[in-house]
Structure 1
Amino acid sequence: MKPTTFLLAMGAFALTVLATPVFASDSARMVPRTEVSDARPVMLAAIQATDGEAHAILTGDVANAITQRFGATSPIFIDVTTERRYQQPGCSRLKVMFWQDGVLLPGAKAPRKQTMEFGINYCLDGLPPKSLL
């Protein structure tokens, strides 16, 4: 399985099964966001960004299916922040967060914001770093 397909599948799984509510300000929506069909370009942008951050909106068939399935009231947002830059050029520890408002999970009484967050060691070449120093 390709790394981008894996990340997208993991995101879809986590949004439906492992999601937990998190409350964030509306200012999170105000940052400039590009549209992407998977998280990889956002992760690469965060590695290259001076401030170590990148933001996007997930689009495409999978995003549409998730949004429709849960009757969500917002698109799926992606926020990536750099937690650590490694000595190996172009390699970082990233925190990747997918979130969406108005998600109605099976058995829930009301829709709410759902998030899925994970950490990953990632390099510009798509591979993990050779060293964590």
Structure 2
Amino acid sequence: MNHLRITTLLYPIAGAAILSSCGEGKKEDQAGPLNIVYIMTDDHTRQMMSCYDNRHIETPNLDRIANKGVLFSNAFVANSISGPSRACLVTGKHSHKNGKLDNHTVFDGSQQTVQELLQKSGYETAMIGKW
């Protein structure tokens, strides 16, 4: 069962790392792991970033990041409520498995998270903002 949990968390991370490395070839002088910057917002629609839809708003800094990294064009959330959605992302588990069913439930911090797996792999991690 632990193997299933680990692979459930590692597949999305590995996929993002592979996709982000496709844009540029590895430079000879580049050492160490690639940087991973994951930006998540609540109630964010396609029209809120000009890299998706430039009819309503201009977001040049986010567009620059999107152009140099991975831009998801076909994605879904496991839960539409903000707190449970974040819990699904950091644990790789659906809400009924991670226990975060609504915004009033306290998140069980003893669960393994993507951030912990990245730390074990030598990454420095930080979460900034809501949680």
The structure that has the greater radius of gyration is: 2
The structure with higher relative contact order (CA 8 Å, sep 6+) is 1
Query: Would you say same fold, with TM above 0.5?
Result: no
Which structure: greater strand fraction? 1
Q: TM-score range by the shorter chain?
A: under 0.3
TM superposition score normalised by structure 1: 0.22
Which structure: greater helix fraction? 2
